[in-house]
Amino acid sequence: MPDLEYVTRTVTLLDLAMGDPPTILTFERLVGLGGKTKPFTQKVPVPDPVLFASLLAEARKGDLIEIATVTDWSAEGLPTHLTRFSVVRGTAPTADETAMRGQGVTPAAKDAVSPG
């Protein structure tokens, strides 16, 4: 019987990586006893292709996002994956991103656009 734990937290999105499955890299500061903080990064798999496509369309590196993850404590390797997200605070688009959007190109698709 699965022993599932659902966790929701707010993190900074550091990167989105294609792969099988695609992943996101997140950053947050954990606060310990006495108020000391410790930086914490986590690579989170995103097995749902629709959810990953939404991330590519809506979020950018540096955005503050709320993520929900599930961990199966009964499974070998304690697999954790992303179940949902929302952008809490986005970063300002760069001039390059603004220009691409004006041409109907999304930042996620910029690498797929050939020059000329």
Half-sphere exposure of 65 (CA within 13 A, CB side): 26
Q: Say if residues 102 and 37 touch (Cβ distance below 8 Å).
A: no
Residue by residue, DSSP assigns 31-67 as: E-GGG-EEEEEEEEE---HHHHHHHHHH--TT-EEEE
The fold of the 4-111 domain, in CATH, is: OB fold (Dihydrolipoamide Acetyltransferase, E2P) (2.40.50)
Question: What is the predicted pLDDT for the residue at 41?
Answer: 96
**pTM for the model:** 0.73
How does pLDDT run across 89-100, given as a tens digit for each residue? 877 555 555 555
Query: What residues does each domain of the chain span?
Result: 4-111
**What tokens were used for 93?**
């688009």
The model's pLDDT over 9-43, given as tens digits with 9 standing for 90+, comes to 999 999 999 999 999 999 999 998 888 999 999 99
